Amino acid sequence: MADQNQDLPLVVSEILIEMHDMKASINRLAEIMLRQQQETNKRFELLMEENRRNTEMMIGAFREEGLQSRQQFAAFDKRLERIEQKLA
């Protein structure tokens, strides 16, 4: 039993060294994961901003098209009204 106890400090020190190495590895992994999440967040924000700009551009184009159509309909209505007045 005494021989087994002689190895105990060596085993404990090896376990402590392994635990320290694991802690360092876990910390490094956490740093990497944090950086990846930050990069993902940046890309998501860029995509959302691009989506917002594209949406605004499309809304502007639809508004312009709607305004042009409304002006054309108003012009047709005026022409039709003049024709109806001539025929009346």
Residue 86 domain-assigned (yes or no):
no
Residue 50 domain-assigned (yes or no):
yes
Residue 83 domain-assigned (yes or no):
no
Residue 73 domain-assigned (yes or no):
no
- Please give the Cα distance from 30 to 34 (Å, whole number): 6
* Minimum mean pLDDT range among 3-12, 13-22, 43-52: 3-12
Which token pair is 84?
């109806």
Residue 11 domain-assigned (yes or no):
yes
Residue 74 domain-assigned (yes or no):
no
pLDDT at 9: 85
pLDDT single digits (tens) 49-77: 999 999 999 999 999 999 999 999 999 99
Residue 12 domain-assigned (yes or no):
yes
Structural domain range at position 57? 1-62
Number of domain units in the chain: 1
